[in-house]
Amino acid sequence: MRKYPRKLRVADLIKEEIADIIHRKIKDPRIQGVTITAVRMTDDLKEATIFYCGTFHKSDRTELAEAMTSAAGFIRRELSERVRLKAIPRLSFVYDNSFDYGERIEQIIELIRSKGDEQDL
Q: What is residue 17's predicted lDDT score, i.e. its pLDDT? A: 96
State which of 21-25, 57-61, 95-99 shows the largest mean pLDDT: 21-25
Domain contains 32: yes
What is the tally of structural domains in the chain? Answer: 1
Higher pLDDT, 27 or 49: 49
CATH of the domain at 14: 3.30.300.20
**Predicted TM-score (pTM) of this structure:** 0.78
Domain contains 52: yes
Phi-psi region of 60 (alpha: psi -120 to 50; beta: other; left: phi over 0): alpha
CA distances (Å), origin 11, targets 71, 80, 112? 19, 14, 39
**Structural domain span for residue 22:** 6-96
Q: What is residue 29's predicted lDDT score, i.e. its pLDDT? A: 86
Nearest to 35 by CA among 14, 55, 10: 55
Please state, in angstroms and rounded to a whole number, the distance separating the CA atoms of residues 12 and 44: 16
Say if residue 121's pLDDT is above 60: no
In single-letter form, the type of residue at position 11 comes to A
